[in-house]
Amino acid sequence: MAERIFIDTNPLIYLLDNISPYQITVRNFFIEKKQRNAEFYTSTITDAEFFVKPFANRDLEKINIYRNFLREFEFLKCFVTEQIAERSADIRAKYPNIKFADSLQLAASIECDCTAFLTNDKQLKSVSEANVVYLGDL
- Residue 78 belongs to a domain with what CATH number? 3.40.50.1010
Which residue(s) pair with 123 in the sheet? Answer: none
pLDDT at 1: 73
Q: pTM here?
A: 0.94
State how many domains the chain has.
1
Query: Could you read off the pLDDT of 33-84 as tens digits, one per residue?
Result: 999 999 999 999 999 999 999 999 999 999 999 999 999 999 999 999 999 9
Using only the alpha carbons of the chain, give its radius of gyration. 14
Q: Which structural domain, as residue segments, surrounds residue 24?
A: 4-137
Contact 6, 114 (CB under 8 A): yes
> 2 falls in which pLDDT band (50, 70, 90)?
confident
The CA-based angle 43-36-79, given to 5 degrees, is 10
Question: What are φ and ψ of residue 71, in 5° steps?
Answer: -70, -45
Which residue(s) pair with 78 in the sheet? Answer: 43
pLDDT at 137: 93
